[in-house]
């Protein structure tokens, strides 16, 4: 099980939401969050209560949890926070990005308490799931830039993931009603959101009961088809 820690600006960059989310289906489902005023980094002590609540939530379901965060959580107070109960060795895994036409390759350094290995880099790549979810929360779904209903957004995100799994379980017939390409072009979240909208608009009886249950999901990333001119 992997959880991701990150923050995003809302309300015209006046507030930050710091969120701990569960990685699922190439996206991230909110487990807990706090809202703080202003920009910039946050001290570890501000998130201790949040981490404790999420740990209590996850304890019955997972013996081991991988926690992923970016360089915004790099200061010495974070090192002190992580080692306050027991010290551990620090291992470093490194690689270079491939680069693009307009960007040179960049060095990627991942620090972990696990032994250095290429698998650490693959684990860290999961962190990008929360960036995609923040996009869903804003322009792609719920417009959290202008709402304080964060609990409702978290429940709706869980529901959309459950509905997306429902669509995929029923094969291409269901999927093609909302994603008509030959291969899947929508994320699990978008499949669920669009199925919900379709059911509310034209066929309410096709909307399954919400169980707040996630099925194991190992989807490959969506590869968008090239447009044909």
Domain boundary among 86, 103, 132: 132
Domain shared by 18 and 83, yes or no:
yes
Residue 13's alpha-carbon distances to 37, 75, 143, 152, 227, in angstroms, are 9, 22, 14, 21, 35
Domain shared by 171 and 125, yes or no:
no
Domain boundary among 68, 101, 132: 132
The phi, psi pair for 212, rounded to 5°, reads 55, 45
Is residue 57 assigned to a domain?
yes
Structural domain that includes position 39: 2-132
DSSP 176-222: HHH--SSS--S-HHHHHHHHHHHHHHH-GGGSPPP--------PPPP
Question: What is the structure's pLDDT at 221?
Answer: 65
Domain shared by 83 and 165, yes or no:
no
Domain boundary among 99, 132, 165: 132
Is residue 229 assigned to a domain?
no
Residue 144's alpha-carbon distances to 11, 82, 156, in angstroms, are 8, 30, 12
Is residue 15 assigned to a domain?
yes
Number of domains the chain contains: 2
Domain shared by 76 and 171, yes or no:
no
Cβ-proximal residues to 83 (8 Å cutoff; 6+ apart), any chain = none
Sign of CA dihedral 160, 164, 167, 173: positive
Is residue 52 assigned to a domain?
yes
Domain shared by 186 and 91, yes or no:
no
Domain shared by 89 and 178, yes or no:
no
pLDDT tens for the chain, 229 residues: list them. Answer: 889 999 898 888 889 999 999 999 888 999 999 998 888 778 878 888 999 999 999 989 888 888 898 887 776 677 777 766 666 778 888 888 887 777 888 888 888 888 888 888 888 888 888 888 888 888 877 888 888 899 999 999 999 999 999 988 888 888 888 888 888 888 889 999 999 999 999 889 889 999 988 887 777 666 554 433 3
Question: What is the structure's pLDDT at 229?
Answer: 34
Domain shared by 118 and 35, yes or no:
yes
Domain shared by 6 and 74, yes or no:
yes
Is residue 21 assigned to a domain?
yes
**Cβ count near 130 (within 10 Å):** 28
């Amino acid at each position: 099980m992997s959880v991701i820690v990150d923050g995003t600006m809302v309300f015209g960059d006046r507030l930050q939401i710091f969120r701990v989310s569960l990685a699922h289906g190439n996206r991230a489902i909110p487990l807990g969050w706090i809202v703080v005023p202003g920009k910039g980094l946050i001290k570890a002590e501000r998130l201790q209560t949040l981490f404790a609540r999420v740990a209590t939530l996850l304890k019955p379901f997972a013996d081991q949890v991988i926690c992923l965060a970016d360089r915004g959580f790099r200061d010495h107070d974070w090192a002190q926070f992580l080692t306050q109960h027991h010290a551990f060795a620090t291992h470093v895994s490194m690689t270079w990005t491939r680069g693009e036409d307009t960007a040179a390759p960049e060095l990627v350094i991942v620090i972990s308490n696990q032994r250095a290995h290429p698998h650490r880099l693959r684990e860290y790549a999961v962190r990008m799931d929360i960036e995609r979810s923040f996009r869903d929360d804003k322009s792609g779904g719920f417009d959290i830039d202008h709402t304080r209903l964060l609990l409702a957004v978290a429940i709706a995100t869980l529901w959309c993931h459950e509905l997306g799994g429902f669509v995929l379980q029923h094969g291409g017939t269901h999927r093609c009603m909302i994603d008509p390409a030959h291969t899947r072009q929508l994320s699990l979240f978008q499949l669920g959101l669009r199925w919900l909208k379709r059911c509310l608009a034209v066929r309410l009886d096709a909307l399954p009961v919400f169980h707040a249950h996630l099925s194991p999901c190992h989807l490959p990333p969506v590869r968008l088809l090239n447009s044909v001119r």
